Amino acid sequence: MKLNDIRDNPGARKERIRVGRGIGSGKGKTGGRGQKGQKSRSGVSIKGFEGGQMPLHMRLPKRGFNNPFGKDYAEVNIGQVQKLIEEGKLDAKKLVDHEALKAAGVARGGKDGVRLLGKGELSTKVQFKVNGASKGALAAVEKAGGSVEVIVAKDPAALAAAKKGTAKKASAK
């Protein structure tokens, strides 16, 4: 085999069709676009157009909105944590944070961290480091003799306001 013998497999590369180059080419005259009308011309933008009828996306009711500043927390109940400790999947003597809960298979998702919720019972003394906790969860952990350290995340809207100096002026008034 020589370098000049190397070829692509048959059919690996397909040549583009040159449209509008004479009737004999098979794609001449209208260039494969059929006859007249809006679709035969360039710059067509009729996606969702239904011939003058109200389009489906405009007929359907709209509900709610998508909060751009909303946080995505992995929600973990203290009852789940107690169950993991009893099963031996979580060590109560070590600090319980997002990584430990993820390794135990209970904190799925949560790109903004973990939020501790108060559903269930906690009887073991546990030290938590989470991004958020409900009042019920805080009370239950402290009742069991544990502690909760809440990590305060930097809010992008508050940082932008602080950078402009608008936060200080608003709080002064």
Q: What are the mean pLDDT values of the chain's consecutive 10-residue runs (173 residues total)? A: 94 92 92 89 83 91 90 90 88 86 85 89 88 91 89 71 61 52
Instruction: Work out the end-to-end distance of the chain between its first and last CA atoms, rounded to an integer number of angstroms.
Output: 83
Q: Give the integer Cα–Cα distance in Å for 34 and 26.
A: 12
Backbone angles phi, psi at 162, to 5 degrees: -65, -35
Nearest to 76 by CA among 11, 134, 32, 28: 134
State the pLDDT at residue 56.
92
**In the structure encoding, which two tokens stand for residue 125, read together?**
């003394």
State the pLDDT at residue 166.
58
Q: Give the integer Cα–Cα distance in Å for 38 and 17.
A: 22
State the pLDDT at residue 139.
92
State the pLDDT at residue 165.
67
Nearest to 75 by CA among 113, 124, 129: 113
Count of CB atoms situated within 10 Å of the CB of 74: 19
Question: CB under 8 Å to 80, separation ≥6 — which residues?
Answer: 106, 120
Q: Give the integer Cα–Cα distance in Å for 87 and 57.
A: 50
Quick check: 124 and 141 in contact, CB under 8 A? no
Q: Give the integer Cα–Cα distance in Å for 124 and 88.
A: 13
CATH of 74-150, one of 3.40.50.300, 3.70.10.10, 3.100.10.10, 3.30.56.10: 3.100.10.10
